[in-house]
Chain A
Amino acid sequence: MTPRQRLWFFAVAAAGLVACLLWAFAGLPGFGDYPGPYGEAVLRVAVQQTNATAVVSAVNFEYRGIDTVGEEFILFAAAAGMSVVLRRLRKERETEPADEAESRTVPATSSAIRVPALLLVGPTAVIGWWLASHAQANPSGGFQGGVILASAFILVYLSGEFLTFRRLSPDALLDAVEAAGAGGFAAIGLAALVMNLPYLDNYLPLGTIPGAVSSSGTIALISFFVGIEVAAAFTAIVGELLDQTLLRSA
């Protein structure tokens, strides 16, 4: 095919794509126009039904809770797959790091990075914990809170303290927390089945003040379990990758 033929081929295909796209755009609802019935319905009943003032959390952890269980296990499977793929293979072994260029001087982690990173560890952990445990009142939830909690651990590594990072997050602990988080979510749903209710039915007392820490029954509890699962999974993924960069093929 000569370049000229290829150009013609592209021109025809591109014209077809543009025509199809324009046709599709013409049939779209107007900008900001929401034609579906569910949004309106949920907005009207969510706060009375669940006592959660954050309707998105109510939708995520209650109305479509079973979807969220699936998403939870996607991350769980991804983290587990990562540990399997990055396990120590027979030909690999960890060696004492040997300096192959002894004359070179290694620059220490600059204080400009170390000090802010260490200062941010505490506040980051608090924000992550707060987001994960206040899903019923804030636009957040276990997922966002969990990732922020994990970044608190990553900040420890960024400040040049790799060994401290690994000591703070041993694999056995991460695995246990991850399993407890994912299993806890599934178990909350199963408990409803035991009580002869639909899976993930909100069977806990909803509290009296909408949006209070003690309100919204299972929504807040599920968010907490999602939070610890996500935090452990992300910390494990980063930890595995860090181990990999220090591992050598013998």
Chain B
Amino acid sequence: MISTGLMDTLQIVVLAGVAAGALAVVRTRSRIRQVLALSVYGMLLAILFFVFQAPDVTLSELTVGAVALPIVLLLAIAKVGKPER
């Protein structure tokens, strides 16, 4: 059993991580890198849901946010296919 204090600390750390991740996604300029940042952000969100004891949502976020959405975006970028600035 994890003590309440440790759990609180963990929750604060994960919340801060998600905030930093969201900022990183917005601040990334290159499209491909942005998609990768978004994938990492999806992973961070999944960890957040896990820490907050929602394993169902963790699995959904992991599959959609970290895998399916980046794949769809990468394919769309490949189709549009303009060179990076």
Contact = CB atoms under 8 A, between A and B. Distances in A.
B59 A238 contact: no
Interface of B is mostly: helix
B84 interface: no
Given A141-B56, A148-B63, A151-B63, A234 B75 contact: no
A151 B70 CA distance: 12
Contact of A144 (B59, B71, B76, B79): B59
Interface in B41-85: 55-56, 59-60, 63-64, 67-68, 71-72, 75-76, 78-79, 81
A76 interface: no
A56 B49 CA distance: 14
Contacts of A143: 60
A154 interface: yes
A242 B78 CA distance: 9
Interface of B: 55-56, 59-60, 63-64, 67-68, 71-72, 75-76, 78-79, 81
B68 A147 contact: yes
Question: Would you call the interface of chain A mostly helix, strand, loop, or mixed?
Answer: helix
A148 B64 CA distance: 9
A234 to B, nearest CB: 6
7 contacts: A131-B59, A147-B67, A150-B68, A238-B75, A241-B76, A244-B75, A245-B79
A151 B66 CA distance: 12
Contacts of A147: 60, 63-64, 67-68
Nearest to A32: B52
Contacts of B75: 238, 241-242, 244-245
Interface in A4-32: none
Contacts, number: 40
A39 B73 CA distance: 37
Interface string A141-159: 1011001101100100000
7 A-B pairs closest in CB distance: A147-B63, A241-B75, A139-B55, A144-B59, A139-B56, A56-B56, A245-B79
A139 B59 CA distance: 8
A144 B72 contact: no
B75 to A, nearest CB: 4
Contacts of A141: 56
A144 B67 CA distance: 12
A147 B55 CA distance: 16
Given A241-B79, A242-B75, A244-B75, 20 more contacts: A56-B56, A139-B59, A140-B56, A140-B59, A141-B56, A143-B60, A144-B59, A144-B60, A147-B63, A147-B64, A148-B63, A151-B63, A151-B67, A237-B72, A238-B71, A241-B75, A244-B79, A245-B78, A245-B79, A245-B81
